[in-house]
Structures are given as C-alpha cells and as structure tokens.
Structure 1
C-alpha cells in the first residue's frame, strides 16, 4: 500500500523560542516573529512616549506602563492578522516599495514584463502585409516555402513568410 505524506503543515510551522540560555528554558514556546514585532513596537512606543513626556512632564504618569505594553501588543496582533495577497505584511510592503521605485515612479510601461518603447509615440503606423515572391520563379503556393517545398530564408538566415517591403497582397485573390 502506498502512503502519501504531506509535509506542508510541518514546513510552514513558524519559528519558536523556548530555550533562552543553556541552563534556562521557558515552559512554553513563543513565536519568533510576533515576539520581534512586539519588541520593535515597544521600542517605537517608548520613543514616542518619551517625547511626549519630555514636552509634558506630568502626562501619562500612571498609565505609562499600560501604554508601553498595550499599544505594542495591539499592533503585534494587528500585524499578525493582516495578510494582503496572502503574504506576510513585511514581504508585501517590500514588494510594494520595489514596485513603486522600479515601475510606478519612473512611469514605465510593460508588456509581458518587458518595457515597451513605442507607447509614447503619438501615431503608430503598421506596414501592409505582402506575399513573398521569388524573383526567378514568380509566385509560390505557401508564403514560407519556395517551389521546391523548402523554407525561404532571408539574408540573415531567418525563415520568412510575410515581408513588409515586397509587393502588396491582392485583396481580390482567392
């Protein structure tokens, strides 16, 4: 009997912190990314509250610790919950700024991930299609083959079927 193993859930398990030092480990594990988010938000909140406390010394006197822990905890929960396009919020922000800098601000126009140069032209003119004609034998049945059934090759060694600089196609032809 064949057994199929699905490792998706195991490989998507977030990194966790449990052992702090060699001698001390926590009785439970803490996810690494939310813990780092909490510490970063706590440092940012502490800086803002320090600035407020420098201007208004008696503001937030008794509630300083509540703001110092409550706001980072709320922001950490919010960042963990928001996943635009199914991505981590940090990867989404990185991709968004990369798009802004490389495409949106320079106002590039792309088609199949390649820059298009002719989009800024005021008028686009197409050449008319023509039949390929061999000079010695006249018309041929297929546009990409000669009378012997061999492919027609231009001077650059490329197979050609329709050339824009030969005689025009007869619209009344069968």
Structure 2
C-alpha cells in the first residue's frame, strides 16, 4: 500500500470516489442542456413553428404569393396570333424538309399588345431564321416541341423587349 492510501481512512476513500462520480454527472448535465436546447430549437425551426412565431415563416410567403396570384387574375392574359409560317429545315442530303408553324403568343397584360404589334415583323423574322437552322430530328417528339417553345419564347421576349411574352402556344406544328 502507498503512504497516501495508508493515511486515509476507509470511509474517506468511498467519499472521494463518490465525489468524482457527482462531478461527472454535473459535467454531463451541463453539456447536455445546451445540446438539448439546440435540438429542440432546430426541430421547431424546421417544422415551421418557430419561423411563424417570429413572423417570418411560410405563412408570410404564402400571403405574399396569394397577393401576386390575385394581381395576375386581375390582369387577364392577352393572346396574339402570328401568321402561319413555313420554313425549310436544315436537312442533310438532297431531300428537302419543311416545318409549318402556327403559333399564338401569350402576353402578360393588355398594355403589352401595342408594343408587341409594333415589333411583330421582327419577331416573325427571328422565328423564321431560327426555324431555317433547325434539323428535322431536333423537332421530333415532345422534347423537341418543348425546346422549340423555349427558344421561341426567348426570341419573342428579346424582339418585343418592353412587352412581356409569357408563353408560346402551338396551334399547328407540322414537320415534313
């Protein structure tokens, strides 16, 4: 036995071991409380309860979105029909391929119609030049129609700059 252990009484040794256990429990509680509070806060935040309590949650965004939807409903869209377009496609080989296209453009508001009508020849020109560079296999299937729609929206928006073109609606699309 060591000299320190010999000088301590048997009861003192038991008290020293219990004190070490109590200190470990205190450290565990001190560390567990902040972790528990953070976990509760994260749960409340991601469930949406805490942001709503603070007034910056999904409810505010939903109300804002509903206000924009009502504003859109108040302004009915305007449709402008373009004349039928026929263009030869960039087809390899001797056989010629053509596309026949009849579209309607959806404008965001009625005030844009006058600006679009002034820019309509430019829109038709951009459509025609784009169609002449396309290959017949690029227009096959729904993916080809989707890509064509996106390109025509981009070109119409560029040509009729103050007017806002929302969508291109195909009345007729024939590839031959």
TM-score range, shorter chain: under 0.3
Larger strand proportion of the pair: 2
Q: Which has the higher helix share?
A: 2
Say which one has the larger Rg. 2
Ranked by relative contact order (alpha carbons within 8 Å, sequence separation 6 or more), the top structure is 2
- TM-score, normalised relative to structure 2: 0.23
**TM-score, length basis structure 1:** 0.23
